[in-house]
Amino acid sequence: MVSSSHYDILFCIAVIAAAVGYNFGAKLTKVMAAPEVISWALVLAMPFHFGFAIYYFPKTEINIISWIGFLYVAIFSQLYRDWETDRKSTRLNSSH
């Protein structure tokens, strides 16, 4: 017998929401540059995430390695990669 908790259901909802967001973002890249799509997604999600950040903010100090990891993910793995890809594609398209 398989029993599922409400966490399993929430996880499935999160996976579906991520898939829909990924698909919608891919469609938007046909009319906007990828860095713009990511930037607008972050701006639109900020109020939602900011509320959760305040509610779940830890009572203890956050160590520096955690902040460095957060900055790496925020800057390099999201935006820098797409800016570099967009720059290369622009260079290739302008050479024709």
Task: Say what the pLDDT of residue 33 is.
Answer: 86
Print the domain residue range for 4. Answer: 1-31
Residues 15, 55: one domain? no
CA 51, 44, 91, 95: dihedral to nearest 10 degrees? 170
50 and 67 share a domain? yes
- Residue 12 pLDDT level (bands cut at 50, 70, 90): very high
- Report whether 86 contacts 35 (CB < 8 A): yes
Q: Are residues 22 and 41 in the same domain?
A: no
Structural domain total, the chain: 2
| 53-96 pLDDT per residue, tens | 888 888 888 899 998 998 888 777 766 666 666 666 666 556 55
Whether residues 27 and 58 share a domain: the answer is: no
Q: Which of 13-17, 20-24, 67-71, 82-86 has the lowest mean pLDDT?
A: 82-86
Are 26 and 53 contained in the same domain?
no
